[in-house]
Amino acid sequence: MNVTETISFLPETPETVLKIIGAILVLIIAIGMGKALTIYLQRSLKDKVDKGHLDIILKVGYYGLITLVIVVFILPLTGIESSGLLVTGGVFGIVIGFASQSIVGNLISGFFIIVERPIKIGDQINIANNIGFVEDINIFSTIIRTYDGLYMRIPNQTVFTANITNYVANVTRRFEYVVGIRYSDDAEEAIRIIREIIDNEPFALKDPSPGLFVDTLGDNAVNIIVRIWAPITEWFEMKTRLLWVIKKTLEENGIEIAFPQRTVWFAGELQTRKVTDTQTELLPEAPSRYPPAERTDLTEEIHGLPEMQEGTKEG
């Protein structure tokens, strides 16, 4: 048997072998790229994402890349018709897509929440008027413990699309009181007293400095605005305690908190209505602790009520 005959026995073998070797090589390269992508993601997301979520992201990246390489490069290389698979997969994908729209939406939202990190476990947050502590951030949902101690699961799609208020994202925050004092009191003295209270309060921050000023001359009171900055961990305790301290201290210094009052002014002199004998007899007997009703002379006329005017007066 000569060489030509020998080669004729293997007419297609080298091509098939080459295809298989090529496919294996591409797969090895894809695995290597997947590993490199994993290392890159691990390094870049290590400080941003917690370990549990990072593992999932790494797996999705790694297997996603390999699947992509198989579909795009290896299947055409080995001669497997991928168009049929794609058509079947496409139809199947549409069905699955419709069925799992919200699940995928939550998954993708969860991924972005993990990367963007608008909230962290332990934060106090308000998501679409759901207020509480973040207990856990999963791939599909975020778990909240409300201030009432209730367990609340919010889908990540809602978390991602809703307005999020994170009450503890910054190191400090400001709170405000409106202290209304009487018009007869000295507002400057009231401000001095309140400033002294704030100065003696350790966690009322020196800088940013507190704001104290007369804001409005209201219907019933001179309104003083008190704005205080506090560490984020201390503001609530201080807010709930300090207002009563301010109220008591002001009163100890003769400055009173005003309350709404209405004074009725009469255009003419106020006159007592005279009661006739007849009307008096119709009245029931007065209780013993009151003196007997005084009878008036019939000749006296009954004066009608004068015209009234309403007016307001400061507290």
In the bound state with other proteins, the residue whose beta carbon lies nearer, of 158 and 172, is 172
Q: Shortest distance, CB of residue 206 to other proteins, whole angstroms?
A: 4
What are the structure tokens assigned to 140, written together? Answer: 């599909």
Element (H, E) at 224: strand 222-231
In the bound state with other proteins, the residue whose beta carbon lies nearer, of 111 and 235, is 235
Q: Shortest distance, CB of residue 232 to other proteins, whole angstroms?
A: 9
Q: Shortest distance, CB of residue 248 to other proteins, whole angstroms?
A: 18
Residues of this chain that interact with other proteins (CB under 8 A) are: 169-173, 199, 202-203, 205-208, 229, 231, 233-234
Coil, helix or strand at residue 174: strand
Q: Shortest distance, CB of residue 177 to other proteins, whole angstroms?
A: 19
User: With the C-alpha atoms ordered 276, 281, 283, 289, is the resulting torsion angle positive or negative?
Assistant: positive
In the bound state with other proteins, the residue whose beta carbon lies nearer, of 19 and 195, is 195
Rounded to an integer, what distance in angstroms lies between the CA atom of residue 209 and that of residue 23? 69
Rounded to whole angstroms, what are the CA distances from 165 to 105, 159, 169, 198, 232? 22, 11, 9, 28, 14
Coil, helix or strand at residue 39: helix
In the bound state with other proteins, the residue whose beta carbon lies nearer, of 3 and 171, is 171
Rounded to an integer, what distance in angstroms lies between the CA atom of residue 312 and that of residue 217? 13
In the bound state with other proteins, the residue whose beta carbon lies nearer, of 52 and 208, is 208
Q: Shortest distance, CB of residue 227 to other proteins, whole angstroms?
A: 13
In the bound state with other proteins, the residue whose beta carbon lies nearer, of 103 and 169, is 169
Q: Shortest distance, CB of residue 156 to other proteins, whole angstroms?
A: 25
Cα–Cα nearest to 172, from 224, 236, 226:
236
Q: 277: which residues sit within 8 A by CB, 6+ positions away?
A: 295, 296, 298
